[in-house]
Amino acid sequence: MTTNLRGILAPALTAVTDNFQIDPERTIAHYTWLLENGCDGVLVLGTTSEANSFSVPERKRLLERAVEAGIKPEKLLVGTGCCAFADSIELTRHAVQIGCAGVLMLPPFYYKQLSEDGLFRYFASLVERVANDSWKLYLYHIPPIAVIPFSFSLIEKLVTHFPDIVAGIKDSSGDWAHTKELIERFARPGFDVFPGNESTLLAALRLGAAGCIPGTANVYAQLLQTIFSTWQTAEAEGHQSVVSKYRQVILGYPLIPALKAIISRMRMDLAWKNVQPPLSPLPEFQLEVLLEKLTAAGFDWRVSTPEAGALSPGMSV
Amino acid sequence: MTTNLRGILAPALTAVTDNFQIDPERTIAHYTWLLENGCDGVLVLGTTSEANSFSVPERKRLLERAVEAGIKPEKLLVGTGCCAFADSIELTRHAVQIGCAGVLMLPPFYYKQLSEDGLFRYFASLVERVANDSWKLYLYHIPPIAVIPFSFSLIEKLVTHFPDIVAGIKDSSGDWAHTKELIERFARPGFDVFPGNESTLLAALRLGAAGCIPGTANVYAQLLQTIFSTWQTAEAEGHQSVVSKYRQVILGYPLIPALKAIISRMRMDLAWKNVQPPLSPLPEFQLEVLLEKLTAAGFDWRVSTPEAGALSPGMSV
């Protein structure tokens, strides 16, 4: 049995070609770089990955190629929650078959004002159809984007009915009061709470969070790892205040285009600026200002990883 | 060249099997019944059809089977807007190849707070990739569900850049002031405005709307057709007030489960109550109350169409 993932997980960016398709070489090289530079695991195909902007076959192929390239599936959480029930089942089965550490599932997010019964029935029917006893389902609470929440009572019901499958939650509410209550009510061995917001990482760890899965881990996972590995010591406070400063700067920009633009500078690779429609790439002049502000805050974005861009698919990493 | 659809269009319900798959026989029989009972056309695979709860292959197969069964493609608008760019292109190309009257496209609805430029780029890139000069794109404005709107300035930009392709809009805002302004600013030969709300059908027609595409057309299209065909006469007012009364009753219930439950009674066919997760079927006791209220309002739901349930796929209709 695989040990559940804990610590710093990056919701990894997905590199996109000029023709709006997934660029597997660049994307997988980025996974490798993340795992070698501060990440305990990688969330592939989540919100920061623009997962819902890609088709089911594209998503499956990327995961297969990542594992073929040598990424250990037990280091991966995979986003598999779609609007279409059949798509969610297909992606979940696929990730489970590949041996991934777990799947992170959005609620079905097209219809609004859903009843709790309807949502429970969706997940219960899905668990039945995935028909496997040894997989881990992480709930993905991100009301600013998916709108549909995982209410405390829905979480309770899912945990009660599927105690061996429902293994945790990512809280991307951006609301510390919510994260705090979530940890206090639910965090326990076998149910891990991962905030999406790293500006409260230290406070969350002290309460019992299992780690963190923030978008910015794509660019400064190593620094987040210093907080995770020192959180019981006095020095953690200092790291936390640095992280909070960086986040404050990045939050002034659309997150995904900004992160991709920073990576494009880190790697000296313009292709990394591409985003999938309907997102728009960060204009060059905005990137200049962002980098100046980050530099002023003390962030050294000039960490280049030339080897990452050159990694071939199929190459053992 | 096909004449653009006008009049009463039903956003047709999709029958679902006990195993959460599309039931093509019942669904296609329903399309036939709608076209023979008051509808000038049918919107297949829209919101009321639970389209986003089905996979791309399921959606394509249903459309193919409908046309094989004898439904004329020039009577069909097809919902093709997905979150994934590749899915929207694939479904749009498919509907265009089949010769459908047009496609009705949601904006990509996962990410929120998108820039107008990002949305325009999405549609411009899509038009380029559909790579066909003779198709009709209808915009689908439904902020209560998709959240992302089609702003007036985005509509203007799309119409200006693609005057031969962008052919109209469905306004499911449920906001009469918005519908009114939309008609006044945009309705013209070559750009048709279809409100989703039939309680203002007559007022909309008087301003220049091309018709209406309300969910309730699944159960009382014939009555809506009497408004459409008499709107320039005095009698239309009476029909409108009856329709508004019925709508008021139905709005007290979750729309899709309620419409399916009414159809299940009309057809004496329990299978029609099925909905796709995350929606929940209307409980039997709620259906009883709903039918009592409709009867009290004067609606004769006892219109049975036994032949509709018995129609075989492949049968010419």
List C-alpha distances in Å: A129 to A85, A86, A93, A132, A159.
10, 10, 9, 8, 18
Is A55–B90 a contact, with Cβ atoms under 8 angstroms apart?
yes
A256, A48 Cβ separation under 8 angstroms: yes
CA distance, residue B175 to nearest chain A CA (Å) = 17
Please check whether residue B130 touches A, CB under 8 A: no
DSSP alpha helices (H): ranges in B49-115?
A: 56-68, 85-98
Q: How close are the terminal C-alpha atoms of chain B, in Å? A: 24
Note the pLDDT of residue A312.
37
- Give Rg (Cα) of chain B: 19
Q: Is the pLDDT score of B71 beyond 70? A: yes
Mutation target to probe the B interface, by most B beta carbons within 10 A, among A87, A112, A255 is A87
A122, A85 Cβ separation under 8 angstroms: yes
Note the pLDDT of residue B311.
38
Note the pLDDT of residue A314.
35
What tokens does B173 get? 């805002």
Phi, psi at residue A167, to the nearest 5°? -115, -5
Please check whether residue A116 touches B, CB under 8 A: no
Q: Is the pLDDT score of B53 beyond 60? A: yes
- ipTM of the complex in this document: 0.93
- Residue of chain A whose alpha carbon sits nearest to that of B59: A84
Q: Is the pLDDT score of B38 beyond 60? A: yes
d(CA A188, CA A211): 13
- CA dihedral over B230, B235, B241, B247, signed as positive or negative: negative
What's A22's DSSP letter? B
Note the pLDDT of residue A1.
41
Across the range A96-111, mean pLDDT stands at 98
Across the range A31-37, mean pLDDT stands at 97
Note the pLDDT of residue A309.
38
Please check whether residue A19 touches B, CB under 8 A: no
d(CA B88, CA B123): 10
- Name the pLDDT band for A129 (thresholds 50, 70, 90): very high
Q: Is the pLDDT score of A303 beyond 90? A: no
- Tens digits of residue pLDDT in B248-307: 999 999 999 999 999 999 999 999 999 999 999 999 999 999 999 999 999 987 764 444
d(CA B182, CA A305): 52
Closest residue to B280, CB basis, from A115, A146, A280: A115
- Tens digits of residue pLDDT in B193-231: 999 999 999 999 999 999 999 999 999 999 999 999 999
Q: Is the pLDDT score of B46 beyond 50? A: yes
Taking a contact as any Cβ pair under 8 Å apart, which residues of chain A between 280 and 299 contact chain B? 280
Please check whether residue B84 touches A, CB under 8 A: yes
Task: Report the length, in residues, of chain B.
Answer: 317
d(CA B306, CA B268): 8
Mean per-residue pLDDT over chain A, rounded: 94
Across the range A7-34, mean pLDDT stands at 98
pLDDT above 70 as % of chain B: 95
Note the pLDDT of residue B303.
61
Phi, psi at residue A232, to the nearest 5°? -90, 5
- Tens digits of residue pLDDT in B108-138: 999 998 999 999 999 999 999 999 889 999 9
Q: Nearest Cα to B49, choosing from B91, B25, B16, B92? A: B16
Least confident of A36-40, A243-247, B274-278, B306-310: B306-310
- Residue of chain A whose alpha carbon sits nearest to that of B18: A125
Note the pLDDT of residue B160.
98
Q: Is the pLDDT score of A274 beyond 70? A: yes
Distance from CA of residue B62 to its chain's centroid? 16
Note the pLDDT of residue A113.
87
Q: Is the pLDDT score of B23 beyond 50? A: yes
Mean per-residue pLDDT over chain B, rounded: 94
Closest residue to A278, CB basis, from B53, B114, B144: B114
Q: Is the pLDDT score of B2 beyond 70? A: no
The residue to which tokens 């159960």 are assigned:
B219
- Tens digits of residue pLDDT in B276-287: 999 999 999 999
- Name the pLDDT band for B75 (thresholds 50, 70, 90): very high
Note the pLDDT of residue B139.
98
Across the range B156-165, mean pLDDT stands at 97
